[in-house]
Amino acid sequence: MHRDKKRNLLIIDFFTLIILIFLDQLTKYFAVTNLKDKDSYILADGIFELHYLENRGAAFGMLQDQKVFFVLVASIILAAIVYILFRMPYHKKYIKLHACLVLIASGAIGNLIDRIRLNYVVDFFYFSLINFPIFNVADIYVTVASVLLVILLLFVYKEEDLEFLSIRSK
């Protein structure tokens, strides 16, 4: 019975992943068609705007034109997520962990699609008030899920809750 529930949860994870990637790619399509080669679209003057950017690096302009590095890192992260999702026992307490990992995977794949297809990532959200790096929906997935993951690991899950990650555990 747990095997069927776990399989169903993994199927839900997969379809959620597909939907989230689709939403990310859809927003990037709208950014390209409506913002590229145009002035920023001001949503809140001096605070927030839509500003098209072809990002060939990471946040704050780091690691420009390092496509192979980004593809390799994303592939390793995705492999780790798949490993964890398949090793994780079926239990209600792990639903939040599933959600975080699916969000991180969705963001990683969304930006990976851009890097492979375009050689850059389409970014378009810009908080001008604090001059925050321009970002996209995939970045939101990764950032929110990473913060939640840290909170879960620090305050919710105990060491024994994560024993399934041990190579020796079955």
- Separation of alpha carbons 22 and 29, rounded Å: 10
The predicted-structure confidence for 107-166, as pLDDT tens digits, reads as follows: 999 999 999 999 999 999 999 999 899 999 999 999 999 999 999 999 999 989 989 888
Amino acid at 91: H
Q: What is the pLDDT of residue 118?
A: 95
Residue 110 near residue 25 (C-beta atoms within 8 A): yes
Catalytic, 139? Answer yes
The predicted-structure confidence for 3-24, as pLDDT tens digits, reads as follows: 899 999 999 999 999 999 999 9
Q: Find residue 55's DSSP bridge partners.
A: 121
The active-site residue, picked from 13, 24, 114, 123, is 123
Q: Find residue 53's DSSP bridge partners.
A: 123
Residue 82 near residue 127 (C-beta atoms within 8 A): no
- Separation of alpha carbons 14 and 12, rounded Å: 5
- pTM of the prediction? 0.91
Helix ranges (H only) for the chain are 2-35, 67-87, 95-118, 137-151
Q: What is the pLDDT of residue 107?
A: 97
Catalytic, 114? Answer no
Question: Domains of the chain: which residue ranges?
Answer: 2-165
Q: Find residue 65's DSSP bridge partners.
A: none
- Separation of alpha carbons 139 and 93, rounded Å: 26
Q: What is the pLDDT of residue 166?
A: 80
The active-site residue, picked from 4, 37, 139, 161, is 139
